[in-house]
Amino acid sequence: MIRTQFLPPNRLSLEHFNAAIFDMDGLLIDSEPFWKVAERESFAEVGIHITEEMSKVTAPMTTAEVAAHWYAFRPWEGRSTRDLEHSVMSRVRELINEHGNALPGVRDTLDAARARNWRIALASNSPLSLCEHVLVVLDLLDAFDVIVSAEQVARGKPSPDIYLEAAHRLGVSPMRCLAFEDSISGVRAARDAGMTVVAVPSTGQTFESDTQLPHAIYPSLSAFREVHFNTPDSARGAQRNR
């Protein structure tokens, strides 16, 4: 089993990359708790009381897939799965507005990637409108050249479609894209797209099989940037205050 760890810098070279592609939930923003709250509240309204174990089952799914999954588990009357999907997303938006903050190292890693003249994309299973909303709240919308949602491809993660579409829109070969992920399904999607994958695991996440293994694992984007872009947070803060 490979657990969250800091890998030495000689394990990964950035020289041949021309683009960086970032996941959103759990990597740019700690939104996973928001999704759990929203799903529990919304599905309780139709008689489905979601436990922590039940949340783990649907964690890799898109919102539409989650609604379809729980309807198949225990069909309800009076509201469509689309309505429940909208209810979940609306509640997530509210929680992001109230509590959403960028995770450590996000802004500086994006700035450093741009300084290398890399193209930058977001690749998320979340709906496009929510992706854009998160980036606006975090003041990161201008940092991305491309935003790709599961709504825009045939299959969401763990299928590679989102990453392949992001590379296509960036105009960069998948082999020259560095993907950043926090989850097993995301790592698998990026690997199957032919990309090099850096994992910044979300809380409790481990990678246990060959199909799940990222090429490098770091405890935070700050740690990745300090190794590969050689700009510690303290130094960057001092530069900004000059």
**CATH number, domain containing residue 112:** 3.40.50.1000
Based on the fold, state whether residues 80 and 19 are members of the same structural domain: no
Report pLDDT digits (tens) over 130-141.
Answer: 999 999 999 999
Based on the fold, state whether residues 13 and 72 are members of the same structural domain: no
Q: What confidence score (pLDDT) does residue 158 get?
A: 93
- The structure tokens listed for 178 are 């560095």
Domain end: 81, 99, 117, which one? 99
- The CATH number linked to 94 is 1.10.150.240
Does 2 reside within a domain? no
Answer for the pair 2, 206: CB distance below 8 angstroms, yes or no.
yes
Q: What confidence score (pLDDT) does residue 209 get?
A: 60
Q: How far apart are CA 218 and CA 5, in angstroms?
A: 6
Based on the fold, state whether residues 129 and 207 are members of the same structural domain: yes
Q: How far apart are CA 195 and CA 214, in angstroms?
A: 10
Residues in the chain: 242
Report pLDDT digits (tens) over 150-171.
Answer: 999 999 999 999 999 999 999 9
Answer for the pair 154, 124: CB distance below 8 angstroms, yes or no.
no
Q: What confidence score (pLDDT) does residue 202 get?
A: 83
Question: Could you give phi then psi for residue 21, rounded to 5 degrees?
Answer: -125, 125
* Upper half-sphere CA count for residue 237 (Cβ side, 13 Å): 5
Domains held by the chain: number: 2
Q: What confidence score (pLDDT) does residue 131 get?
A: 96
Q: Which of 23, 108, 161, 182 is catalytic?
A: 23
Q: How far apart are CA 203 and CA 159, in angstroms?
A: 23
- The structure tokens listed for 147 are 């935003």
Q: What confidence score (pLDDT) does residue 12 get?
A: 81
Question: Could you give phi then psi for residue 97, rounded to 5 degrees?
Answer: -60, -40
Report pLDDT digits (tens) over 194-215.
Answer: 999 999 998 777 777 665 689 8
Q: Does the structure show a pLDDT above 90 at 8? A: no
Q: How far apart are CA 121 and CA 74, in angstroms?
A: 37
Q: How far is CA 3 from the centre of its chain?
A: 19
Q: Does the structure show a pLDDT above 80 at 11? A: no
pLDDT band at 24 (very low <50, low <70, confident <90, very high): very high
Domain end: 79, 99, 119, which one? 99
Does 1 reside within a domain? no
Based on the fold, state whether residues 47 and 120 are members of the same structural domain: no
Based on the fold, state whether residues 68 and 184 are members of the same structural domain: no
Report pLDDT digits (tens) over 212-237.
Answer: 689 899 999 999 999 888 744 444 44
> Is 139 considered catalytic here?
no
Q: What confidence score (pLDDT) does residue 229 get?
A: 85
Q: Does the structure show a pLDDT above 50 at 3? A: no
Q: Which of 25, 108, 161, 182 is catalytic?
A: 25
Place of tokens 């894209």: 177
- The structure tokens listed for 27 are 């990597």
- The structure tokens listed for 180 are 């950043």
List 216's β-bridge partners, or say none.
198
Express as a percent the part of the chain with pLDDT over 70.
88
Measured at the CA of 94, the angle between CA 180 and CA 41, to 5 degrees, comes to 95
Based on the fold, state whether residues 108 and 177 are members of the same structural domain: yes
Place of tokens 């999954």: 69
Mean pLDDT for all residues in the chain = 88
> Is 210 considered catalytic here?
no
Q: Does the structure show a pLDDT above 70 at 5? A: no
Q: How far apart are CA 192 and CA 66, in angstroms?
A: 23
Based on the fold, state whether residues 162 and 214 are members of the same structural domain: yes
Q: What confidence score (pLDDT) does residue 235 get?
A: 43
Domain end: 99, 117, 150, which one? 99
Based on the fold, state whether residues 88 and 149 are members of the same structural domain: no
Based on the fold, state whether residues 112 and 214 are members of the same structural domain: yes
The total of other beta-carbon atoms located within 10 Å of residue 124's CB is: 26
Q: Could you list the residue range(s) of the whole structural domain that residue 106 is in?
A: 9-29+102-240
Report pLDDT digits (tens) over 25-47.
Answer: 999 999 989 999 999 999 999 99
Based on the fold, state whether residues 114 and 84 are members of the same structural domain: no
Based on the fold, state whether residues 16 and 56 are members of the same structural domain: no
Report pLDDT digits (tens) over 44-84.
Answer: 999 999 998 898 888 878 888 899 999 999 999 999 999 99
